[in-house]
């Protein structure tokens, strides 16, 4: 058994254990493989284990991998900060964008989404702890941005993406995640198609699942230590 296969199985075991402890549906949490900095061959190895959803942060690197792995039925998620001059390529090559945080970016993604493709699935990135150095809209502006996205015919609002600040305790983690879940519930109440709360990474996955995450973003625990860029 390869190291990647062992790590893949271990992650799924941890997800299953966390979901069970939270008394949730076993199928209610998905794994997003965060594959930034890893070459196409590494992704192909993980895909051979059954993984279909991959998250990328760096556009040009992602485009190269999307092209190299075009023979596979993969679902590509853009999860990094978005510059305005990158929206055309993002809208044309990704299935999901999880890091929409302002109207300008939503508008440009909508304008650049090809007519030949299904509407682009998007999540609004929330700066849940309102850190000055972190991307994401403020909790107070969430519904305003959601209402705007709902007017765009080539975007499909699916939920929220959350990256909380580093915490010193599980209790602090739970506080941020619980606040994010409350916002998710508000959004879902207004827009019934909303079904995704992308929340939790390697270090805080179990807490995120306990607080209602439906998608965890895992990189290092799956691929190993990052390769230097």
Q: Please indicate, yes or no, if residue 170 is contained in any of the structural domains.
A: yes
Per-residue pLDDT of 52-64, as tens digits, reads 999 999 999 999 9
Q: Please indicate, yes or no, if residue 229 is contained in any of the structural domains.
A: no
Per-residue pLDDT of 85-108, as tens digits, reads 999 999 999 999 999 999 999 999
Q: When comparing pLDDT for 47 and 166, which is higher?
A: 47
Question: Cβ contacts of residue 195 below 8 Å, gap of 6+?
Answer: 158, 159, 188, 214
In 39-169, alpha helices (H): 40-47, 59-68, 87-93, 103-112, 142-149
Token pair belonging to 214:
């439906």
Domain count, the chain: 1
Q: Please indicate, yes or no, if residue 33 is contained in any of the structural domains.
A: yes
Strands 53-56 and 30-34: parallel
Domain of residue 195 covers: 3-223
Contact 176, 163 (CB under 8 A): no
Contact 206, 18 (CB under 8 A): yes
Per-residue pLDDT of 134-176, as tens digits, reads 889 999 999 999 999 999 999 999 999 999 888 878 899 999 9
Q: How many CA atoms lie within 13 A of 26 on its CB side?
A: 4
Q: Please indicate, yes or no, if residue 228 is contained in any of the structural domains.
A: no
CATH number at residue 86: 3.20.20.10
């Amino acid at each position: 058994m390869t190291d990647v296969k062992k790590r893949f199985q271990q992650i799924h075991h941890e997800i299953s254990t966390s979901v069970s402890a939270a008394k949730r549906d076993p199928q209610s949490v998905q794994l997003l493989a965060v594959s930034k900095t890893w070459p196409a061959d590494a992704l192909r190895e993980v895909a051979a284990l059954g993984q279909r959803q991959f998250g990328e942060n760096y556009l040009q690197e992602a485009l190269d991998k999307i092209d190299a792995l075009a023979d596979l039925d993969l679902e590509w998620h853009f999860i990094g900060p978005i510059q305005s001059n990158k929206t055309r390529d993002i809208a044309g090559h990704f299935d999901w964008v999880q890091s929409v945080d302002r109207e300008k970016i939503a508008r440009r993604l909508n304008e650049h989404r090809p007519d030949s493709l299904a509407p682009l699935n998007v999540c609004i990135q929330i700066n849940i702890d309102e850190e000055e150095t972190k991307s994401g809209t403020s909790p107070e502006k969430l519904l305003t941005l959601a209402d705007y996205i709902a007017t765009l015919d080539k975007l499909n609002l699916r939920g929220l993406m959350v990256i909380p600040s580093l915490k010193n305790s599980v209790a602090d983690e739970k506080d941020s995640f619980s606040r994010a879940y409350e916002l998710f519930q508000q959004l879902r109440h207004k827009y019934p198609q909303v079904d995704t709360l992308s929340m939790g990474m390697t270090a805080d996955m179990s807490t995120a699942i306990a607080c209602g995450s439906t998608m965890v973003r895992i990189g290092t625990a799956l691929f190993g230590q990052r390769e230097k860029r």
